[in-house]
Chains A and B, each alone.
Chain A
Amino acid sequence: MRQFYLFVLLSLLWQASFAQSVLSGTILDQEGQPLAGATIKVDGSDKATLTDDSGYFSIELEDGYETLIISAEGFQRQTIYLTGQSVLKLSLVSRSQVVKDEAARDVNFGIGSQSKDELTSSVSSVDASQVSPAPLINLEQANQGVTAGLFVQNSSGTLGQPTQVRIRGGSSLSSSNQPLYVVDGVPLTSQNQSNINPSNIQSIEILKDASATAIYGTRAANGVIIITTKDGGSGKLQVNLDYQFGISETPKKLDVQGGQENLLQTFEFILRGFEDFVLNDRGFEEIDILANNQVFDNIDRSTLESLYLSGVEDVTFVSTFFTSAEPITFNIPAFYNQLRTSPGTDWQDEVFQTGISHRANVDFQGGTEKLGYFASAGYTTQEGILISNEFDRFNGSLSLDSKISERLSANLNLNYIYTSDQQLPENQDLAFPLQAIVLPAADTYDPENNFVLDVRSLDYNPLTEVNFADFTVTNNSILGSLGFKYDISEKLTLDVNGGVDLGNLESERFQGPQTQEGAGSGTNGRTRSSSEEVTNSVFNGWLTYNDQFDSGNTLSVILGTSYQNSKSSFTFNDSFFPTDATIPGGAFAFLSAYSRVSYSLGNQFDFQVSGRVDASTKFDESNRTGFFPAASAGWTLSNASFFSIRPINLLKIRASYGLIGNTPQDDFAFRQNFFRSVRYGIDPTIEPANLANRDLKWETTAQLNLGLDFEFFDQRVSGSFDYYIKTTRDLLFPVPAPLYTGYSQYLANVAEMKNEGFELNLSSINIQKTDFSWTTDFNISSNKNTIEDLGDLPSVVVGVNAFIEGQPSGVFFMQRFVGVDPEDGAALYDNGQGGTTKDWNSAPRQIVGDPNPEFFGGLTNSIAYKNFEFSFMLQFVTGIDLYFQTGEFLSNSGLLNLGQSQDQVNRWYTEGDQTNVPRLNPADNFPQSSSRWIEDGSYVRLKNITLTYNLPQSVLSRMGGLRNMSVYIGATNLLTLTDYIGYDPDVSYFDPLDGVIGQNISRGIDNFNTPQPRIIMSGIKIGL
């Protein structure tokens, strides 16, 4: 038998290598009708022909193993790899059919699914193929600018930092505003959605309106993101390999003062010190300065320049008002001359690095009719753009689909995650590398002497802190689920599944004795370690009933129940501590029942009612159960018999309304709790933590969504528009308590918030030719957030942000800087009564900016030409204010004689100077927040750009039968158009010590945040 095959093979080869062959055939449409005018082109050559009226063609070939590209107007292009045959019969599929198929693709709701054309709610789907090849460490970033209504803001470009995701604005004040992540049916407690291997993701569904999310009930107020990982396949084993190499760099260097300018500032700092602390005390208000036998009558810039250039030893001040007063002579401190001779340092060059990244991935997919399998292993290692920041991740996954019997099937998904993160200290920590940008450029350091600064030897040098420290966080996690599906009858199915989300985070930070914090404890340095363990399990069971009636109407009913139990434990240990600290853990459980009934009336009307009953441990027993219903309807107008507007292929209107819930952040806020506090001496302590409020209940969000889906011009243009209004009532918020209770506040359901906005998606197929296609996707969203009611508190201020009734969440609330007094160079602030004041303390705080964006979205273009694919994605955010808090130190008139940005050169020097930069004041030692550092944070960013070359089949076949192979080059964050003066407008710092309310209030702050890196990468993908 084998010999026979060998014979056939050889004869084919023989034929192929000797004969010029002719291929003829017929091209049909999907109905089987001949297709005239279709183009048949030989890939990689000029040879081409057209079909005649009967769909017939004939073309001469070299060897019969070419690749043919067959295309026709209005039809999906098809590529055929010839294997020596001489006759070809082929059906092309019309594009409208492709769109239909796409519409019929099921949208996964996590619990049950629904075909897209019956959808009545607002859901966005991201297909696996849309996930960019860029080495995005987390999934959230992959969605930035891709999905309407989803605002993604990076907290920082430091690797391993969280990303903020807001679906249709935040809906809570005191609880988390992050969406609920559900991975293969498991609602996560761990934050591991970020660590799933992007190559393993099959699809991502983003549920936005009440109708879509109601089935997730109590935790769906912030939207739900459902992640489905890849399943087992069928057929023969397919292996995919990919490798990527990348180089990351800072996208920008700030314009900071060089050594000479820094020296000039230092000199002024010294002189101003004499002026303010000594001369003014002695009545020397009008002075002459004698130095190097020259006379200067002011500390202005030219005085400073000439003195600094000549290098003075001492300076004499003469009062020109009290001429009888004895002149005062000061010696310039020795450190000044030390700085003069120092080579100086470019601190940005010292802390930024070029980061190298590698990513490799292999997966296997295949199976039989009875058992499908998918397995993968991936490894990523990425260096940050700041020194000593590195992130490594290993992912392993296994998925099995088994058809146990005719009626019973099982599905297993296992994802293992290991990450190791070389972390950096917190941004505000003076050991954080980027803090080095405010070190004096004129100063330098000696690596032999532990990188201690030559002159300002007491200051932190982040190089010391980083070189003599180690800060590693490792994560070992498993996400897994096992599900069974049993067809009870043709119409009734039972699904049962269970899942786990197990996470273990270990953090260890060592600071050597050379560091500032490690120095305290003798010679061993300081070691802090902590761990976090998450055990989260879920059980789900539901019945699905599907029926189609004779009238063509369909009914689908889902009825189910779920139980989730989650527990988190923490430990903390510090070598400075006598014993381990005890940290309160978390625990909660949900017991729920849910149902969804969908009814389709012909192909025109779709109705859906859904709801969920949740019982939660987060509330008192008497108050524990909540009911969250939703209803929606859709009318496909274009299917109505009266509808006959030719260019419109699809027009569907949707409406939904429902209630969804949100639970408090704290697990047992309803009862009095006691926590272990810090020790007293060496003794363990317990302190009461809160007042009980047995009446606590869910935050409830009522959301109305109106939507429109459309397709025009033979499906060339399609899209959707959604308008929504979300009102959240019973928001949990602190209420002032009588202080004689020992508490200043307690949690109660008092506040109200509104989010209103729209989302627009547009897709267009601009060109679809044989060798050339071009598609464009565009989305834009807008959300207006208003705090309607804050209960008894008129406002809550955290740092420079505030919650204020009638205002968007987190508005910037601080003193308004209005300029500089030309007389004395003092900063002027709005005094709230139409005038100005120099007294920052007495100037009232006021609203000076809004950190919430007005519009945001993205634009993606994909172009395919022959074997090349080119795509680029622009992402934009407009109408957003940022607070450049870095500027409080970096751009503050030489505060504390720190290194300054170049624009501070324009500070006030002498009477009459018109400027916006106040005088250098040596008495200031703490920045005073004001609108001086409010900046427009709008930007347009070329987020991704990729050029891919798919090797033609003719080449692949010569390479031992590879299924496919492509190589690509690309870049992330290549270009950003913005007026923002900091490193990166995609930024949101919050102080980890501020707690959840603080983190909800604080937004739009750039406090020494690492910019998002610019990454240039190249990779290869191979299919076997």
Chain B
Amino acid sequence: MKQRTIAILLTVLILSGCDNLLDVEADNVFSGNIYTSDQNFEDLLNGAYLNLGGIYDGIDGGELFGGDFQLIGTLLSREKDRLFFWRSSEAPDYQDFMDKEILDINARVEANWRRAYETLNLVNGILQNIALVQDAALQTRIQGEALAIRGMIYFELVRLWGPQYSSSTLNAPAIPILLEPITDITEFTNVTRNTVAEVYDRAIRDLQDAIPLLSDSSIDLNRINVYVCEAVLARIAMQQGDYDEAVTRANNVFQGPFTLAATPMVAFNNLTRSGEEVFLIQQNQITSTGGIATRTGLVAHLASLPGVGFAAMNVNFPLLGSSGTSNSPDFSSADQRFVLQSDLAQSSTVNDINVETAFYNDPVNTTTVSPAKYYRTDAVIPVIRLAEIHLIRSEALLETQGVSAALPDLNAIRSRAGLSALSNTLTEFQIFDSLSLERNRELIFEGQYIHDLKRWFAFGRRTNNDQDDFIIQRLSATRFLEPDDESLILPIPQAECDASPQLCN
């Protein structure tokens, strides 16, 4: 009798009921099988945007297009403590980029590498399961955006972590390409680095594949659309020195509903699109790349208003205006991008910064100057602007068709900045010189200039200042760091090498 009671009890309660009893789920947690509804696909894609834009989700998250690509690019392209001074005590992790001595344990290098691959893993998951999206139109759009995100990231990774694209580096190892999601620790594969050419091909193919998928969708200017793909392809073509392709892609972007803002600074610190942004990162008061509280994001590092930023970057304002300093943008006093506001006090708020202000006096450390491109943590971050597309087309036309063809786009940017239009009496050499300065001025703090220096140097372009303009860092009176120097290529993080030694051999 006893045994029977026990047996019944155990059998009934443990064995038979087991499966149902141990079937529990928590709220707002999704198991590995996430691809069960169209809404989930949309939300996952939004998650990819969140990562792509570097929206703050913890201190170990790289900011990618939302900040680090701009900041790292800017610091790499500038001579240490000359035009810009970096206050290491405020943000020591970025000092390496200013020093051009980037350690493989650098926290920003690791954070951006990891988050880039996190985004890739996320879009790879979407793409692998894309057939499960029920709504056909939605399926096309999500696939297109996911492919475009993958292409954009691979391009940005290869030009930061790999050598400059050129005939001699096509087969140089760059970064690993992953096209399948990794969800389980048993799926770690023996990945190796793909070559520069392979990564460029992958980026181009993804973006090209995305274009027809996105062509049918209505254009959402706050997200990736067909024009964003064209613009990134234009950037890629320039980086590869494929100027015909660049002209074609740039022309396609001009089909889009974009307009230059009235004056250059109007394109920045807007709560919604200004009209000039081809691609932007959305921010608002709550979801942003961070601020002074998290000590992350462009605003925290560049702004100097108390409570807004800690002004890690100090600008040597006079040197930006005087020629003679290597790689100086040589702003003239007429330039709208050189407007200094000097009436800000410690009690000022971001609303006291004028619309035209390009630089302002640091109200705390009054002897230094801060840039005014990014001072609102709730503003959209322009990633690709129409102004850049003008400059791309101008340069590509100069290379392919000569001075007259290049002038309209170049003059559009010059005129908007309050500079006089150039005439076609100038030589091709003079126009290139002006164009390179214009890129330096227009895209300052946007992280593009380092890549320009690398490609110009690789493709043998020279300005009238000759070699000088390609000096990134004076090492001694006679030794200079030039744009092809390996120290300007980001290292694969130590943590990655520890886990996957084959990537670092």
Contact check, A684 vs B46: say whether CB atoms are below 8 A apart: yes
**Contact, CB under 8 Å: B30 / A673:** yes
Query: Using an 8 Å CB-CB cutoff, how does the interface string of A891-909 with B read, 1 for contact, 0 for none?
Result: 0000000000000000000
Instruction: Count contacts on B: residues with CB < 8 A to the other chain.
Output: 80
Known: A458-B306, A841-B92. A574 touches B22 (CB 8 A): no
The answer to whether B496 touches A691 (Cβ under 8 A) is no
* B21 interface residue per 8 A CB criterion: yes
Indicate whether B182 reaches chain A with its CB closer than 8 angstroms.
Answer: yes
Q: How far is the CB of B448 from chain A (nearest CB, A)?
A: 24
Of the candidates B13, B90, B92, the one whose C-beta lies within 8 Å of that of A563 is B13
Contact residue among A578, A672, A736 (Cβ-Cβ distance under 8 Å from B284): A578
> Does B84 count as interface, using CB distance less than 8 angstroms?
no
Q: Is A615 an interface residue (CB 8 A)?
A: yes
Give the segment of B2-10, B233-241, B395-403, B435-443 that binds chain A. Answer: B2-10
Cα distance A738–B110 in the bound complex, in angstroms: 11
Of residues 48 to 92 in B, which have CB atoms within 8 Å of A's CB atoms? 49-51, 53, 55-57, 60, 88-90, 92
Across the interface, B287 reaches (CB within 8 A) one of A561, A680, A841, namely: A680
Q: Do residues B183 and A686 form an inter-chain contact, with CB atoms below 8 A?
A: no
Interface stretch (choices B116-124, B206-214, B476-484): B116-124
Kindly list chain A residues whose C-beta atoms are within 8 Å of the C-beta of B9: 541, 543, 559, 561
User: A517–B29 Cα gap in the complex (Å)?
Assistant: 31
Report B310 CB to chain A, min CB distance, Å.
8
Q: In the assembled complex, which residues on chain A have CB atoms less than 8 Å from the CB atom of B114? A: 739, 742-744
Enumerate chain B residues within 8 angstroms of A561, measured Cβ to Cβ.
9-10, 13-14
Which residues of A are found within 8 Å of B122, using beta-carbon distances?
687-688, 742
In the assembled complex, A775 has its CB within 8 A of some CB on chain B: no
Interface check A588, CB cutoff 8 A? yes
Interface presence of B346 (CB below 8 A): yes
- How far is the CB of A758 from the nearest CB of chain B, in Å? 39
Bound Cα distance from A64 to B268, whole angstroms: 98
Cβ < 8 Å to A, chain B residues 13-62: 13-14, 17-18, 21-32, 34, 40, 42-44, 46-47, 49-51, 53, 55-57, 60
Cβ-closest chain A residue relative to B21: A591
Interface hit among B133-141, B184-192, B249-257, B458-466: B184-192
Task: Find chain B residues with CB under 8 A from A541 CB.
Answer: 9, 13
Q: Does A457 contact B (CB under 8 A)?
A: yes
The segment from A579-587, A814-822, A878-886 found at the interface with B is: A579-587
| Chain A residues closer than 8 Å to B44, beta-carbon distance | 674, 685-687
Identify which of residues 561-587 in chain A touch chain B, using a CB-to-CB cut-off of 8 Å. Answer: 561, 563, 565, 567-570, 574, 576-578, 582-587
Q: Report yes or no: B31 in contact with A587, Cβ–Cβ below 8 A.
A: no
User: Which residues of chain A from 253 to 302 have a CB within 8 Å of any chain B CB?
Assistant: 277
Q: Do A740 and B191 touch across chains, with their CB atoms under 8 A apart? A: yes
Whether B21 pairs with A676 at a CB distance below 8 angstroms is no
B307 sits at the interface (CB 8 A): yes
**In the complex, chain A residues whose CB is within 8 Å of the CB of B42:** 683
Residues in A whose Cβ lies below 8 Å from that of B499? 736-739
Minimum Cβ distance to chain A for residue B92 (Å): 7
Chain A residues with CB under 8 Å of B498's CB are 736
Would you call A321 an interface residue if the criterion is a C-beta within 8 Å of the partner chain's C-beta atoms? no
Binary contact readout A484-509 vs B (1 if CB under 8 angstroms, 0 otherwise): 00001000101000000000000000
Given contacts A458-B306, A543-B5, A685-B46, contact A741 B121 (CB under 8 A): yes
B339 to chain A, nearest CB (A): 26
A681 within 8 A of B: yes
B26 lies within 8 A of A585 (CB)? yes
Are B121 and A681 neighbours in the complex by a CB distance under 8 Å? Answer: no
CB pair B51 A687 closer than 8 Å: yes
Q: CA separation between A589 and B25, bound complex, in Å?
A: 10
Contacts of A543 in B (CB 8 A): 2, 5-6, 9
- Residues of A contacting B284 in the complex (Cβ-Cβ under 8 angstroms): 578, 681-682
1/0 per residue A662-691: CB within 8 Å of B?
000001100111111111111111111001
Interface status of B347 (Cβ within 8 A of chain A) = yes
| Interface membership of A354, Cβ < 8 A | no
Indicate if A624 sits at the interface (CB-CB under 8 A). yes
Q: How far is the CA of A457 from the CA of B89 in the complex (A)?
A: 26
Verify if A520 is at the interface (C-beta below 8 Å from B).
Answer: yes
Distance (whole angstroms) from the CB of B386 to the closest CB of chain A: 21
Is the C-beta of A692 less than 8 angstroms from some C-beta in chain B?
yes
- B178 close to chain A: CB less than 8 A: yes
- Which residues in B have their C-beta under 8 angstroms from that of A277? 367
User: In the assembled complex, which residues on chain B have CB atoms less than 8 Å from the CB atom of A616?
Assistant: 22
- B222 at interface by CB-CB < 8 Å: yes
Whether, in the assembled complex, A240 has its beta carbon less than 8 Å from a beta carbon of chain B, the answer is no
A442-458 residues with Cβ-Cβ distance < 8 A to B are 457-458
B493 is an interface residue with CB less than 8 A from chain A? yes
Taking a contact as CB atoms under 8 Å apart, the answer to whether B183 and A688 are in contact is yes
**Contact of A583 with B117 at beta-carbon distance under 8 Å, contacts A565-B21, A681-B282, A687-B122 already known:** no
User: Looking across the interface, which residue of chain A has its beta carbon closest to that of B51?
Assistant: A687
Minimum C-beta distance from A318 to chain B (A): 22
Interchain residue pairs with CB less than 8 A apart (8): A458-B347, A561-B13, A567-B26, A584-B27, A591-B14, A591-B22, A673-B31, A742-B119
Sample of 15 more A-B contacts, CB < 8 Å, known A591-B18, A672-B183, A680-B55: A492-B2, A570-B27, A574-B286, A584-B26, A617-B24, A679-B46, A682-B284, A686-B34, A691-B183, A691-B185, A693-B185, A694-B184, A740-B178, A740-B503, A742-B122
Which 4 interchain pairs have the tightest Cβ spacing? A742-B118, A585-B27, A681-B282, A587-B26
Contacts from A to B (Cβ < 8 Å): 277, 457-458, 488, 492, 494, 520-521, 541, 543, 545, 559, 561, 563, 565, 567-570, 574, 576-578, 582-589, 591, 593, 615-617, 624, 667-668, 671-688, 691-694, 736-744, 746, 748, 841, 923-926
